[in-house]
Structure 1
Amino acid sequence: MSDALVSLRGVTKSYTRGKETVQVLEALDLDIAQGDFLALMGPSGSGKTTLLNIIGGLDKPSGGEIKVNGERIDTLSSGKLAKWRADHVGFVFQFYNLLPVLSAQRNVELPLLLTKLSASKRKEHAQVALDIVGLKDRAKHKPNELSGGQAQRVAIARALVGDPTLLVCDEPTGDLDRATADEILTLLQELNRTHGKTIIMVTHDPKAAEYATHTLHLDKGRLVESAEAAG
């Protein structure tokens, strides 16, 4: 589709291990619309995280073309790609990656240190992001004073604080119990539906995928099936 926010054409990814070439993604075509909430599923080693990292600009394809919002990102230099990532992508990982010595608010502010915003504006933006994820009252708490679910909410606030084009989530509930995972997934669903965030989520959990708009399955580097999610 020509109006896709994310468009991949013929994307391949391979690694060389000694004399062996390992093909991770094979001639992959994919369109993701603005405002979509896509769950990527597949067995271990299917290429899910590799695909997520390529879309998020953390990795480059071996071949093919990637456009995000009309811009080719596969041809950007490492420096320009890093700036593009900072401007356009919010990352949420399984293990939160919060700095233990900083408060929740300071953790959320971290991506804004790369911008020209003043300290007061950074604080203001961080407070808004924490309010969105329901943690305004935990702004001064450090990670060890938060539950796992609260820590992941802080991580989501940090991903949101720069108002990214894409929210990229790699197993965001993989370290959480079912009830807490459902709270985080409901939050992601709300960010998609209410705030219009385009979300791409890798998950191994079928229940997590139900919160997405739809699901795509990868197997051995190829898209093998798509199914509409009930949620």
Structure 2
Amino acid sequence: MTDPIMRLEGVCKGYRRGGEEIQIFDRLTIDIETGAFISIMGPSGSGKTTLLNLLGGLDKPDDGRIVFDGQEIQGWGESRLAKWRAANVGFIFQFYNLMPSMSAARNVELPLLLTNYSAKERRRRVATALEVVGLSDRARHRPRELSGGQQQRVGIARAIVADPRLLLADEPTGDLDRQSADEILSILSLLNRDLNKTVVMVTHDPQAASRARQELHLDKGRFTDAQVAAQ
């Protein structure tokens, strides 16, 4: 077994709503192995999105450790976390979050504008990312000229353009028809299998969850069951 790329150890996380303290996680521990493809299901309010935010450094635990490749990140400042995210984490969203006035290529390039890459290197990486998701011929199209499935492919290309090790997908097929959803899941499987990306996907769709190599169920801040798909 490979070493985990990420570990949450004894993580506690809660929020205040009015005068009430709502506990999401109470000493949650999970290892995410390098090269894993994990799907997470669970009812609304079970902590799925909070978990992704903790894994992606968008939120910090109240207590406990978050370790990425041997480094504890929970105490880092926002500037250091932003640099770490840019290099190591790709985010895929349900509603794509594309800039409507920009072409597909420009949308994919956006994360690279915060790096020191030359314009030539940025163009190379954008072309590679669009090729991986099968949209080389749509590079100049704006989002309104693309189908929902194609827009999500642009979102995936944007997530992988900096070659991150970890992909976090929050309901990536939630706004798509079955055929488009299956195409997106096939791309995620390819990224995991052929490019060794570690993928953590939150979903309400059992069919989507079954495409992962490991299925976890989150309920009331705890993993209640898990199964590993046949390899």
**1:47-73, CA deviations, whole angstroms, 9 ceiling, x for partnerless residues?**
001001100111111111010111111
**1:67-113, CA deviations, whole angstroms, 9 ceiling, x for partnerless residues?**
01111110101221111111110000000000011100000000000
Does the aligned pair in 1 maintain the 2:2–2:34 contact within 8 Å? Answer: no
User: Quick check: 1:177 aligned with 2:177?
Assistant: yes
RMSD of aligned alpha carbons: 1.2
Aligned twin of 1:137: 137
Q: Following superposition of structure 1 onto structure 2, how do residues 162-173 of structure 1 map, counting pairs within 5 Å?
A: 162-173=162-173
Query: How many Å separate the matches in 2 of 1:223 and 1:4?
Result: 18
1:5 alignment partner, SS class: strand
Query: How many Å separate the matches in 2 of 1:134 and 1:2?
Result: 31
Aligned twin of 1:109: 109
Query: How many Å separate the matches in 1 of 2:186 and 2:2?
Result: 30
Aligned twin of 2:220: 220
Query: Deviation of residue 2 (structure 1)?
Result: 8.3
Aligned twin of 2:193: 193
Aligned twin of 1:24: 24
Q: Following superposition of structure 1 onto structure 2, how do residues 1-231 of structure 1 map, counting pairs within 5 Å?
A: 3-229=3-229
Query: How many Å separate the matches in 1 of 2:170 and 2:113?
Result: 24
Query: How many Å separate the matches in 1 of 2:36 and 2:44?
Result: 24
Alignment-mate amino acid for residue 181 of structure 1: A
Query: How many Å separate the matches in 1 of 2:230 and 2:188?
Result: 16
TM-score w.r.t. the length of structure 1 is 0.97
Query: How many Å separate the matches in 2 of 1:32 and 1:116?
Result: 30
Query: Deviation of residue 230 (structure 1)?
Result: 5.1
Query: How many Å separate the matches in 2 of 1:165 and 1:46?
Result: 26
Query: How many Å separate the matches in 2 of 1:37 and 1:74?
Result: 23
Alignment-mate amino acid for residue 25 of structure 1: F
Query: How many Å separate the matches in 2 of 1:20 and 1:145?
Result: 46
**1:21-63, CA deviations, whole angstroms, 9 ceiling, x for partnerless residues?**
0001121010011000000110110000100110011111111
Alignment-mate amino acid for residue 78 of structure 2: S
How many residue pairs align between the two structures? Answer: 231
Query: Deviation of residue 143 (structure 1)?
Result: 0.3
Runs of at least 5 residues in structure 1 that lack an aligned partner in the other structure: none
Does the aligned pair in 2 maintain the 1:210–1:230 contact within 8 Å? Answer: no
2:225 alignment partner, SS class: strand
Runs of at least 5 residues in structure 2 that lack an aligned partner in the other structure: none
Structure 1 stretches of 4+ with a deviation exceeding 3 A read none
1:194 alignment partner, SS class: helix
- Aligned residues: percent identity? 59
Query: Deviation of residue 228 (structure 1)?
Result: 2.1
Does the aligned pair in 2 maintain the 1:10–1:29 contact within 8 Å? Answer: yes
Q: 1:174 to 1:230 in 2, by over 3 A?
A: farther
Does the aligned pair in 2 maintain the 1:211–1:230 contact within 8 Å? Answer: no
Does the aligned pair in 2 maintain the 1:37–1:199 contact within 8 Å? Answer: yes
